[in-house]
Amino acid sequence: MPVITYREALRHAMDEELTRDPNVVILGEEVGQFQGAYKITEGLLAKHGPKRIVDTPISEAGFLGMGVGSAMLGLRPVMELMFFSFYSVAFDQIFNNAANIRYMSGGLINCPIVIRGPANGGTNVGATHSHTPESIAAYHPGIKVVVPSTAYDAKGLLKSAIRDNDPVIFLENTMLYGESCEVPTEEYLIPLGQAKVMREGTDISIIGHGRSIQMALKSAIMLKEKHNINAEVIDLRSIRPLDEAAILASVRKTNRVLLVEEAKPFCSVSAMIACIIQEKAFDYLDAPIRRVTSMDAPAIYSPPLEKEQLPTPQKIFDAALVVLK
């Protein structure tokens, strides 16, 4: 099985779907001639042509609105945002229109659009380019939200997202683009809404998504080596739909929970998961739920300070020990 990067896995997913379905198109700033700001779409223009790989003006409101309209008319557009922080420029198009059209049309009109791009901090690009908006996106009924943590998941989830008949927000992390793992050459799909046990454990459940999973796995190794603690690591993969069954099964198994995410703590995904656990598995808890999130402040521009703002393996390790007291 070949080892490829997260970046290549995304490209392979789009290439396969462009080949499979003539209604799939890629639109965004610099996705064509420049081959993508992060080279995700490298080679796709040469292979599929300018009618399928379309460079757009620097106007998220304009090209996302065009994408929503084209999806309603039968295309399956995959829209690339150079930074996902710019989704706010097209808030109306995404959350007021794409999210609601199937409901408001009584199921007569679908909107099969994928909006993808990097949504993370840690790259020292300032507060306006470092948003992690998964909780904002997931708040809106009608929107699906996906956050892959590995190249394998990135490919399988993106292919499923492109085939889905609902709008899908597909959040990536620039710090994962160069990470590699084994990815099959044969076609595979990963259903949206299916979490994954990344590491089996019995003593504590560490639950998260995106790059935080890589931090959690490092912490789990530290816990085992230093204290012989067996931590279970659950990768949500999808925020909405959310795999509640997998979360609750892990909680009932370990009886202790640590929630990890890069987003800010207020009204976050981890806050929602904590509520679900309290409501549906409270009697299984042997300790209060704890969270490790980013510092509740705009993203810091200074490289050494921003590192301290984000979750780290050491922070997760320390928090896990508190839960296990």
Cα separation, 20 vs 260, whole angstroms: 37
Mention every residue, 6+ apart, whose C-beta is less than 8 A from residue 228: none
Kindly report the number of other CB atoms within 10 A of residue 58's CB atom. Answer: 10
Is 60 considered catalytic here? Answer: yes
Q: pLDDT truncated to tens, each residue of the chain (325 aa)?
A: 899 999 999 999 999 999 999 999 999 999 999 999 999 999 999 999 999 999 999 999 999 999 999 999 999 999 999 999 999 999 999 999 999 999 999 999 999 999 999 999 999 999 999 999 999 999 999 999 999 999 999 999 999 999 999 999 999 999 999 999 999 999 999 999 999 999 999 999 999 999 999 999 999 999 999 999 999 999 999 999 999 999 999 999 999 999 999 999 999 999 999 999 999 999 999 999 999 999 999 999 999 999 899 999 999 999 999 999 8
Using alpha carbons, list the distances in angstroms from residue 3 to 12, 17, 53, 211, 323: 13, 21, 26, 19, 36
> What's the CATH code of the domain at 63?
3.40.50.970
> What's the CATH code of the domain at 270?
3.40.50.920
**Using an 8 Å Cβ cutoff, are 62 and 69 in contact?**
no
Q: Do the domain assignments include residue 241?
A: yes
In the set 8, 17, 29, 60, the catalytic residue is: 60
- Domain shared by 174 and 268, yes or no: no
In the set 129, 131, 134, 306, the catalytic residue is: 129
- Domain shared by 139 and 258, yes or no: no
Using alpha carbons, list the distances in angstroms from residue 14 to 77, 80, 160, 298: 11, 12, 11, 33
Cα separation, 65 vs 53, whole angstroms: 17
- Domain shared by 246 and 278, yes or no: yes
Structure tokens at 192: 């949206």
- Domain shared by 166 and 227, yes or no: no
Domain boundary among 182, 207, 230: 182
Is 80 considered catalytic here? Answer: no
Residue 17 dihedral angles phi and psi, to the nearest 5°:
-75, -35
Q: For the chain, what is the domain count?
A: 2
- Domain shared by 155 and 130, yes or no: yes
Structural domain including 202 reads 196-323
